[in-house]
Amino acid sequence: MPDYKPISLVLILLGLFGSSISILLGFIWVPGIDPESVQQGSAESYRILFWHVSFAWCSFLAFLMLFVGSVLWYLKNDEFGWRLFSTGSDMGLLFGFGVITSGPIWGSVAWGKPWDWGDLRLNSFALLTAVAIFLVLSRKSQPDTTQTRDTLSIIGLFGFFLVPITAVATTLYNRRHPPIIIIEGEDTGLPDEWLMVLIFSFVSFGLMFIGISLLNDMVNQLESKTEKYQRIIDRGED
């Protein structure tokens, strides 16, 4: 098994440093948003979106990894596919939790309450994160058998189908959540600095995502080997 620990730690540290710089730039360099273009009282709270959006994009990458792993395992019983599935579910939980934590911080200021149960984007993402929680807990608590993997891979496919719904939720049904913002325009009032810091933040989170994924895969492989050796020892004692 390759030792990814050194490069993983480097990527994670670079990602942490870059993400810290991005939020710092968001407060001291990026100009504020036109208050008339956003909800009342939320112009300054928008700065947390430099992390919130990056968390969301990385979580989508995690669920893409989960989808590919689910397909590879279910169709071919490919061990590499199961590794992708395991890492994707763990990363989906980690970054999904980042989304549903940072989002309510902004919502508390922008809406006067942290959550809106009528908003499609919020609740579909919460369901997506709940799927990741279920997959991680089930993988850790259930016997590592082919039947268990088949069942969880099907649930993983279901979870990925929520991704496009979540991604276009603000286009299909926009109750409170801000629409998709990419470039400066009359409707968004976003200056170029916002886009630059958003991209820098996403790259930083991407480095951290890769580093944690490599480290997580190593841990999962070590756990699988430990369980395998434990079963051999148990059979020997019998």
Cβ proximity of 88 and 212 under 8 Å = no
Orientation of helix 79-110 relative to helix 120-141, angle to 10°: 140
Cβ burial, residue 191 (10 Å; 0-12/13-18/19+): middle
- What pLDDT is recorded for position 185? 45
* CATH code, domain carrying 181: 1.20.120
How many folded domains does the chain comprise?
1
What distance in Å separates the CA atoms of residue 139 and residue 134, rounded to the nearest whole number? 8
Give residue 161's domain range. Answer: 5-33+41-237
Low-confidence ranges of the chain (pLDDT < 70): 1, 31-45, 110, 167-190, 236-238
Q: Give me the half-sphere count of Cα atoms (radius 13 Å) on the Cβ side of residue 2.
A: 8
Question: If you write DSSP's letter for every residue of 119-170 in order, what string do you get?
Answer: -HHHHHHHHHHHHHHHHHHHHHHS---HHHHHHHHHHHHHHHHHHHHHHTHH
Rounded to a whole number, what is the largest CA-CA distance in the chain?
74
Q: Write the single-letter amino acid at 45.
A: S
pLDDT in tens, 8-61: 999 999 999 999 999 899 888 876 655 554 554 455 667 788 898 899 999 999
What distance in Å separates the CA atoms of residue 76 and residue 162, rounded to the nearest whole number? 24
Q: Write the single-letter amino acid at 140.
A: K
